[in-house]
Amino acid sequence: MKRKIVLLLSLLTTIGSFAQSSIRFADWIVGCDNQASCTVIGFPAKNGATSEGFIKMVRVGPPTTLPVVNVVVSNKVAKPGALLQLVFEPGSIIIKTKPLVQGEKNLKAGLSSQATKQFMDAVNESQFVTIKGDVTREIKISLMGAAGALTYMDDKQQPYKAVSEQALQNNQMLLSPSGTPTIPSQAKQMRILHGDLPPLPPALLQYRATTGACAGDDAPRAIVAILSEEETLWGLCKSVTGNNVDYAFFMVKNDQAQAASFAVPPGEPDLHGVLTNPDISNEDRILSSFMMTRSEGDCGILGEWTWDGENFNLFRYRKMTDCRGLFDTDDWPTLYRAK
């Protein structure tokens, strides 16, 4: 028992440095978060072209753990309930999926455990896998780079081999799904103001834009949220580029202002208090930033933070580097999730 505790403590220490930027291997990308979860996504071979189908794998824990494999397709090529087939070539391996279900913006079909094992074996022996079945157009996914992405995932999750399966099962934090984490109980409300806003605090006058798209009557509205009786969060338009509006955020208390600080995963650029297309949601407890690489919104960086009364804590951080039509941000590689 003592050895298991030591191993688990060592594992938890490793978690702190686990998150990294997503990595691209030919037609596949992989990203890992701080909780032993890695996401691997495969695209068609046409580099840069918007796709209507993808292969997504998520694995939590050591390399011996079976990943969750999903086939993701656009609503343009299939309908909920449709059955798909994965046909590998060269070779004659055909794998059937579960029925398609509607996601936020795409359709998704999972695989049974047996089909997942077949899939993992076939990936290493084939060059392409074509999504067929009840679809209006077949989608050919390249397997170029799949081996590299899976090897990278194995290397990142290698430290977890030292911990027994029972120890992992006993630690629900490590086995949490790759979806939305639970909002921490210490997260405070950031009560956003609607309607008429209070006058700009004197301490922020020097930060107000006087030229460009952030100035004048048509400038994007300031964002104001009440954090406490003494402290207010102000977001002022800093710049407008295409579909992205950058806001500089400040903490105002006792007539003093200082730039807000938002943590990011290791290897990601410092935000310097600036969020893009910010929003406050989930009963005013999640502050988000969505930097869109292009207007379609199928790639970019989506960060989320909670407020504990003193600091903005990173809640979740997702990043999609390839603009290929993966519109559902829940399918993007997650680089950080709150515990």
**pLDDT tens per residue across span 163-203:** 555 545 544 444 344 467 889 999 999 999 999 999 999 99
Any domain includes 138 = yes
323 and 276 share one domain: yes
Q: Which of 114, 140, 170 is the last residue of a domain?
A: 170
Any domain includes 281 = yes
CA-to-CA dists, residue 328 to 77, 132, 233, 245, 296, angstroms: 16, 22, 29, 21, 11
Any domain includes 177 = no
Tally of structural domains, the chain: 2
Any domain includes 179 = no
As a whole number of angstroms, the longest Cα–Cα distance in the chain is 72
What's residue 210's pLDDT? 85
Q: Are 48 and 143 in contact (CB under 8 A)?
A: no
Model-level pTM?
A: 0.86
- Domain of residue 24, CATH code: 2.60.40.1880
Give mean pLDDT, residues 257-276: 96
43 and 165 share one domain: yes
* pLDDT tens figures, 72-125: 999 999 999 999 999 999 988 999 999 999 998 999 999 999 999 999 999 989
104 and 232 share one domain: no
Any domain includes 214 = yes
206 and 84 share one domain: no
172 contacts: CB under 8 Å, gap ≥ 6? none
78 contacts: CB under 8 Å, gap ≥ 6? 84, 100, 107, 134, 135, 136
What's residue 163's pLDDT? 53
Any domain includes 185 = no
* pLDDT tens figures, 284-295: 999 999 999 988
* pLDDT tens figures, 213-263: 999 888 999 999 999 999 999 999 999 998 999 999 999 999 999 999 999
Q: Which of 170, 202, 229 is the last residue of a domain?
A: 170
Nearest Cα neighbor of 337 from 150, 173, 104 is: 173
What's residue 13's pLDDT? 40
Q: Which residue type occupies 184?
A: P
The boundaries of the domain holding residue 256 are: 191-337
What's residue 89's pLDDT? 95
What's residue 10's pLDDT? 39
245 and 323 share one domain: yes
104 and 224 share one domain: no
Q: Which of 138, 170, 202 is the last residue of a domain?
A: 170
Any domain includes 153 = yes
What's residue 20's pLDDT? 59
10 and 134 share one domain: yes
- Does residue 206 have a pLDDT over 60? yes
Any domain includes 240 = yes
* pLDDT tens figures, 15-27: 444 555 689 999 9
* pLDDT tens figures, 27-63: 999 999 988 889 999 999 876 677 899 999 999 888 8
What's residue 160's pLDDT? 67
